[in-house]
Amino acid sequence: MTGAQMTRAVQSLPLAVRPRRNFGASLPFGYWKRRRMAVALLMLTHIPVIAWAAHRAPVVSFALSAGFFAWIWTLARTRALRGWSVRLPAEVIADQLRVLLLVGLPACTLAWATGEPVWLPLFLQAITFAALAGQALFFRGKPASWVRILGSPSNLGAAVGTFDQCLDLLGHAGCRFAPFRADRPEPEAWERRIRAWLERGETVLVLEPQLRDMALRLRPAGDVIIGDDCLLFASMARPAGPITNMILDWLNRAIAFVATLTMWPLVLGVAALIKLDDGGPVFFSQERVGLHGAIFTVYKFRTMSVQADKYGESPRGDFDPRVTRVGRWMRRLSLDEFPQLVNVLLGQMRLVGPRPEMPFIVEDYDQRQQQRLTVKPGITGLWQVSPHRNDPIHEHIEYDLAYIAHRGPILDLALIIATLGLANRSGA
């Protein structure tokens, strides 16, 4: 095999954790190309606005210039651009939201304190975040090389606990394991190996706690991430508490209320199309299991024929004969979920959380799966923006367990943004 053939073979390896059918899926985006693209987007959004503000609001222009370098420094020093081969788009967007707050709040505060227009930094930070979120959703690309997994997930107390789950999540062809012996750590030898892997453009996922400090030290050399950088591999020892639950309840209800007020013309249009399609009922209701096993009625727009079994298996694709003509594009755009905003306003669901299952499925839950019932179910979640979103929910419990342990306002907002961005893709 020639060098060119080997390069093409390496670049064709599948990337499991990415949005499917995106615009950048055919491009081999490694870590350094990802950084260059992010810097180009920052320049594209910042330089015109800074130049326009230089003569009109000098103080704001100075703050925006400082914010530009703060974005670059923060993206380079944090995990926001790292490990896209093993991290979901929503995780990346959550990191970008944290940087947005870190950079945007001081600029807006300075503009307000000096009497300058606050809308200018708000506008700039908004378009900057939109550009970087678009990169995370649509220009993830294929991996430049393999993912090297160093250590075992079994001792992390994380949602992913076995190597088999690692293979399932990351793809059998794209993973290489590097066994670590705790009785023979050999830190110098491991450092040489990691540097060699990074020089070949590989992503190194370090799960071994003994090598954590070394991994952090080697970050400037390439795409190195540790278990705590990934929701699926981060420890679940300190789950969110009651205060977080209260904040999430109010945040989700507020967003649902605003969406209900602003989207009613779309609701009327969808309802009319469903009625004109086959003359059947507009809405579909079904019993589902919620918080602590409580039974409630979930509402959706009807996407299947009236004769379809109410509690039958969910359609796996657009060509299921039970799905109506209007139902196909509704499911593709996730518009059938819109009536569940009523469930959110009633406090039975949240916008983000584990999907509610039917009672007969919950009856067969094991002890691990029962943990899904410790939080309110949601319309979207980690599973819905994962590459396994077309599989049965209960077969990939690791996504729900990771969300339950690490849930919070920023992650919820990131999942809502990722869901909207992936709504026109299969299974989203």
pLDDT 10s digits, 294-312 = 999 999 998 888 877 777 7
Give the pLDDT band of residue 11 (cuts 50, 70, 90).
very low
Residue that has been written with the tokens 């990939």 in this structure: 396
Find the distance separating the first CA and the last CA of the chain, reported in whole Å.
39
Q: Is 132 exposed, middle or buried (0-12, 13-18, 19+ CB in 10 A)?
A: buried
Tokens 């109410």, located at residue: 310
Beta-carbon contacts of 136 under 8 Å, excluding residues fewer than 6 positions away, are: 84, 89, 92, 93, 96
Q: Which residues fall within 8 angstroms of residue 93, CB to CB, at 6 or more apart?
A: 133, 136, 137, 414, 417, 418
**295 Cβ partners below 8 Å, 6+ apart?**
287, 288, 289, 359
Q: List the one residue out of 321, 357, 336 whose CA is nearest residue 423.
A: 336
Q: What DSSP state is assigned to residue 354?
A: P
Taking the C-alpha atoms of residue 300 and residue 285, their distance in angstroms, rounded to an integer, is: 6
Taking a C-beta distance cutoff of 8 angstroms, is the pair 366, 384 a contact? no
Q: Give the separation between CA 160 and CA 325, rounded to whole angstroms.
A: 39
Question: Any idea which residue has 């994962």 for tokens?
Answer: 386
Record the pTM: 0.85
User: CB 168: neighbour CB atoms within 10 A?
Assistant: 16
CA–CA–CA angle 423, 352, 404 (5° rounding):
130
Q: Give me the helices (H) in 80-118, please.
A: 89-113
Q: Among residues 354, 380, 384, 352, which one has the least CA distance to residue 19?
A: 384
Task: Say if residue 164's pLDDT is above 80.
Answer: no
Q: What pLDDT band is residue 158 in, cutting at 50, 70 and 90?
A: confident
Please give the pLDDT value at position 153. 76
Distance CA 226, CA 215 (A): 7
214-245 exposure pattern, b = at least 16 Cβ within 10 A, e = fewer: bbeebbeebbbbbbebbbbbbebeeebeeeee
Query: Among 17-31, 161-175, 371-385, 393-407, whose mean pLDDT is lowest?
Result: 17-31
Residues with Cβ within 8 Å of residue 186, at least 6 apart in sequence = none
| pLDDT confidence bin for 39, thresholds 50/70/90 | very high
Greater pLDDT, 16 or 110: 110
Count CA within 13 A, CB hemisphere, residue 162: 3
pLDDT for residue 420 is more than 80:
yes
Confidence label for 13 from pLDDT (cuts 50, 70 and 90): very low
Tokens of 152: 């075992």
Mean pLDDT of 3-17: 41
